[in-house]
Amino acid sequence: MTAASVTFTIGYAGRTLADFIGVLRRAGVERVVDVRALPLSRKKGFSKTALRDALSKAEIEYVHLRTAGNPYRDQKANVDVCLALYSTYVNDHPEVVEAVEGAVNGRAAALLCFEASACECHRSVLIDRLTARNPRRKVQHL
């Protein structure tokens, strides 16, 4: 199985920038698709410009899809509610899944957000929708 036949997800919580890039490189990721609405971070190196520059040096492309961000992230204290609201949002905005699908198809791509565990992050909803569109899609959480 080639890396391009897999859609990856990755969170940067608990990781240094060097570790994060190392994980991506070992997996063969060629493109990071940032699905944060606001690509800002208090964690050094993970805000949009710094991250894009660091990934570029590692020969990994960076794409930011603001529209795929979770407008209900302020509800993250209750993960189930937060993800249910985001799921409804995605149902009401099919163009979000279309944009994500276009960014990952045919590429060794990883959806990026903060949470270490994909099941606690809105990227799990996006992966569910992508898999529903293509049940043969392979997914690997890094």
Q: Is residue 111 part of a domain?
A: yes
% of residues, the chain, pLDDT over 90: 86
pLDDT of residue 1: 52
**40-77 confidence digits (pLDDT tens):** 999 999 999 999 999 999 999 999 999 999 998 888 78
- Domains in the chain, number: 1
Q: Lowest mean pLDDT: which of 65-79, 89-103, 111-125?
A: 65-79
Q: What is the CATH number of the domain that holds 9?
A: 3.40.1010
Domain region containing 127: 3-136
Would you say 73 and 99 are in contact if contact means Cβ atoms under 8 Å apart? no
Q: Is residue 108 part of a domain?
A: yes
Q: Three-state DSSP class for 98? A: helix
- For residue 76, the 8-state DSSP code is T
pLDDT of residue 73: 82
Tell me how far apart the alpha carbons of residues 43 and 34 are, in angstroms, rounded to a whole number. 15
What tokens appear for 132 in the block?
């529903």
Q: Is residue 141 part of a domain?
A: no
Q: Is residue 72 part of a domain?
A: yes
Q: Is residue 142 part of a domain?
A: no
Would you say 6 and 84 are in contact if contact means Cβ atoms under 8 Å apart? no
Tell me how far apart the alpha carbons of residues 15 and 21 are, in angstroms, rounded to a whole number. 10
Q: Is residue 26 part of a domain?
A: yes
